[in-house]
Amino acid sequence: MSEIKSIGVLTSGGDAPGMNAAIRAVVRSGLYYGLRVMGIRKGFDGLINGDIEEMTARSVGDIIQRGGTILQTARSPQFKTEEGLNKAMAMAKVFGIDSLVVIGGDGSYRGARDISRLGMNVVGIPGTIDNDIGCTEYTIGYDTALNTVQDAIDKIRDTAYSHERCSVLEVMGRHAGYIAVNVSISGGAEAVILPEKPYDLDKDVLKPIIEGRNRGKRNYTVIVAEGVEGKAIEIAKEITEKTGIEARATILGHIQRGGSPTVQDRVMASMMGLKAVEVLKSGGRNRIIAVNNNEVTDLDLEEALKTKKDLPEELITLSKIMSL
Ligand code: ADP
């Protein structure tokens, strides 16, 4: 196996706070180990188009505290075609890139796997606020997003208390309820609606609200993951109509994607960036960096793509019990 000489680093798919910390870690670790590091802008599209620049230690100065990604990100339909992959491979040769660190989610790993089959050495770093990557317990951006949502819940709760209202908050997670179930616990919600679980409005939402009122509650919070059927606005309308309690919907939207990353996201991103470079340097090929049992490890890319994880039932139960 030939030694690697030059790493290309890109961010792909949805952005997440902490991606900058990961880019910084890849660049500085690469330089530390005597490698060239090339920054590829706008995900796989940038590789196809040659939107590439050599990075120095200074290119990543002053970014650890910033959300988003300085390399920007994109969804690249072209990269899913054979022609796009061949173009990307040819462009990598032009810039002397022999290995690729892809920071993103499952979709980005599929792209990484496809280009690895053409001979590129790839390593993936999990970056998504949704925490919906099967092979790892932790993804970069998740902790920051949780804290952003928590801050919003606390603010909304102040006004909900004053007006004796019910607030219905729609949080991110099209297919995964990690954010929703965790903030339902940390935010003291009466009910949480998850994409993984079918729900019954009367039993799962209206009943706990009415019972709570009868026990003396003066404000109510319902968390709705964006992926569930029946959006926050309709659910709020139904609550108002059926309970007489004024309900207001708030859709947090992209506010959850931005902001300065938490300490945890910065440290984890730094650890994963270093690990990605060390894996490549020591001959690891086509691997995914993961965090399991509080340890940063690397897994086979194909195997990692097959791994699924379920939302822990204990969290759902905990959320229910705590809402009494
Ligand atoms: P995420 O990485 O956050 O899951 P996406 O699913 O949007 O984000 O994927 C990001 C990019 O990865 C896509 O725009 C595409 O370029 C590439 N990609 C996704 N799925 C595939 C696939 N099946 N084959 C090749 N490339 C893919």
pLDDT tens digits, one per residue of 15-74: 999 999 999 999 999 999 999 999 999 999 999 999 999 999 999 999 999 999 999 999
Q: Report how far ligand 1's centroid is from the alpha carbon of 144 (Å).
A: 23
Cβ density class 153-177: b for 16+ within 10 Å, e for less:
beebbeebeeeebbbbbbbbbeebb
CA distance 63 to 173: 26
Asked whether residue 181 carries a pLDDT value surpassing 70, the answer given is yes
Indicate the top mutation candidate among 75, 106, 116, 306 to test ligand 1's pocket, ranked by most ligand atoms within 8 A of CB: 75
| Angle, vertex CA 117, rays to CA 135 and CA 29, nearest 5 | 60
Instruction: With residue 298 as reference, give the H or E element that holds it.
Output: strand 295-300
pLDDT tens digits, one per residue of 107-166: 999 999 999 999 999 999 999 999 999 999 999 999 999 999 999 999 999 999 999 999
In this prediction, residues 224-253 reach a mean pLDDT of 93
Q: Which residues on neighbouring strands pair with residue 6, listed in sequence order? A: 36
3-state secondary structure of 250: strand
Residue with the smallest CA separation from ligand 1 atom 26 is 111
pLDDT for 228: 83
Looking at residue 226, what DSSP letter applies? T
Write out the catalytic residue numbers. 130
pLDDT for 227: 84
Percent of the chain with pLDDT over 70: 99
CA distance 288 to 264: 20
The amino acid sitting at 140 is I
pLDDT for 304: 95
Asked whether residue 1 carries a pLDDT value surpassing 70, the answer given is no
- In contact, 126 and 269? CB cutoff 8 Å: no
Instruction: Say what the pTM is.
Output: 0.96
Sorting pLDDT into bands at 50, 70 and 90, what band is 231?
A: confident
In this prediction, residues 239-260 reach a mean pLDDT of 96
Looking at residue 289, what DSSP letter applies? E
Q: Report how far ligand 1's centroid is from the alpha carbon of 94 (Å).
A: 24
- Nearest Cα neighbor of 183 from 197, 172, 195, 199 is 172
Percent of the chain with pLDDT over 90: 97
Q: Report how far ligand 1's centroid is from the alpha carbon of 285 (Å).
A: 20
Instruction: With residue 206 as reference, give the H or E element that holds it.
Output: none
- In contact, 203 and 151? CB cutoff 8 Å: no
Whether 127 is in the pocket of ligand 1, judged by its Cβ within 6 Å, is no
Asked whether residue 207 carries a pLDDT value surpassing 80, the answer given is yes
In this prediction, residues 238-255 reach a mean pLDDT of 96
Instruction: With residue 7 as reference, give the H or E element that holds it.
Output: strand 6-11
pLDDT for 39: 98
Whether 104 is in the pocket of ligand 1, judged by its Cβ within 6 Å, is yes
Q: Name the average pLDDT for the chain.
A: 96
Residue with the smallest CA separation from ligand 1 atom 7 is 13
pLDDT for 32: 98
